[in-house]
Amino acid sequence: MRYLILSDIHANWEALQAAVAAASEEGWDEVVCLGDIVGYGADPNRCVEWVRENSRYVIRGNHDKACVGLEDLEWFNPVASRACRWTQTELSSEAADWLRQLPLGPMPAGSNGDRFTISHGSPVDEDQYVVNLDEAAQIEGYLEQSVTFFGHTHLQGGFEYAAGVQRIPGVPAADEGVSVSLEPLARYMINPGSVGQPRDGDPRAAWAVYDPEAGTVTYRRVFYDLHSAQAKILAAGLPEVLAFRLSIGH
Ligand code: ZN
C-alpha cells in the first residue's frame, strides 16, 4: 500500500490540485489527511469536497474546528480569526456538518495490516507545535506506532528516534523529492509539510508518500498556480497578508 499524506491544505484549491496531479504520476492506494483542510484560503468548499471524496483517513485540525464553531476564536491571532469568520460564512452547511464530525487525533490509520498514527499537532495535543528537537524528545513516550504523521507547523520534515532524536529534513529548494529510508528499530514523527500554506521558506505545495512495505517516506514539492490562489484571497476580502505569505512560503 502507498499512502498519499496531505496536511494543512487550508482551502488552497490550486495547491491541492497541483499536488494531486504531481502525486498521480507515481500513484497511491489511499489518501490520508492530517487536518486544517480549511482556514486562510479562498476555496474551503472545494477542498472539503475533495478530501471527503478521496481520503480514507481524516482527522480534524484546529482551523477545521474553529471554522465550524467548535472553538473560541479568542485563541486565534486577528488574521486567523478574520479568515475563520469568513470561512464560517462561506462553508456550505453540508461541508460544515462534515467538518464538525471529524475525529480528534491521534488516530490509528493504515490498511491491510499497516499500522501508523495520525495527529494534527502532537500525539498529546492537537494544538501543540512540534518544531525543535526538545519538543520532539518530550513526546517520545507517546508514540504508539513506529511511524506517526503530524502537521500543524507547516514545516516539511520530521524526527527520527533511535539513539536520541535526530531531525529529518524535507525537500531541498533545488529538488522536487527526497526519499527517507525508515530504520526498522527506530520511531518516526513525519510531517509531510503544508499543501496550501508552507512556512518553511519554500512556497511550493508540500506532501509525502508513505510506502510501509518498502520502508520509505518520500517528501515531495511542486509549484502551483500561486497567482490564482492569491487573486481569489484578495477578491474574497480576506487579509492581504494571507495572499502575500504564499509567495514567500512563510
Ligand atoms: Zn494549519
C-alpha 84 – ligand 1 centre gap (Å): 12
C-alpha 177 – ligand 1 centre gap (Å): 22
User: What whole-number distance in Å separates Cα of residue 103 and Cα of residue 117?
Assistant: 13
The per-residue pLDDT for 73 is: 81
The per-residue pLDDT for 71 is: 84
C-alpha 175 – ligand 1 centre gap (Å): 24
User: What whole-number distance in Å separates Cα of residue 205 and Cα of residue 170?
Assistant: 12
For residue 201, what is its C-alpha cell? 521558506
C-alpha 89 – ligand 1 centre gap (Å): 19
Q: What is the pLDDT along the chain (250 residues), one digit of tens a residue?
A: 999 999 999 999 999 999 999 999 989 999 999 999 999 999 999 999 999 999 999 999 999 999 998 888 877 899 999 999 999 999 999 999 999 999 999 999 999 999 999 999 999 999 999 999 999 999 999 999 999 999 999 999 999 999 899 999 999 998 999 999 999 999 999 999 999 999 999 999 999 999 999 999 999 999 999 999 999 999 999 999 999 999 999 9
**Beta-carbon neighbours within 5 Å of ion ligand 1:** 8, 36
User: What whole-number distance in Å separates Cα of residue 31 and Cα of residue 3?
Assistant: 6
Q: In whole angstroms, what separates CA 89 from the centre of its chain?
A: 23
C-alpha 8 – ligand 1 centre gap (Å): 5
The per-residue pLDDT for 124 is: 95
| Element holding 219 (H helix, E strand) | strand 216-222
C-alpha 153 – ligand 1 centre gap (Å): 7
Considering only CA atoms, which of 13, 36, 30 is closest in space to residue 99?
36
C-alpha 152 – ligand 1 centre gap (Å): 5
C-alpha 106 – ligand 1 centre gap (Å): 16
The per-residue pLDDT for 74 is: 79
The per-residue pLDDT for 70 is: 87
Point out which residues pair with 237 in neighbouring strands: none
DSSP string spanning 58-101?
E---HHHHHTTTSS-GGGS-HHHHHHHHHHHHHS-HHHHHHHHT
Q: Buried (b) or exposed (e) across 76-92, using 16+ Cβ within 10 A?
A: beeebbbbbebbbebbe
C-alpha 162 – ligand 1 centre gap (Å): 28
Strands 116-118 and 147-149: parallel
Dihedral over Cα of 80, 196, 112, 54: its sign: positive
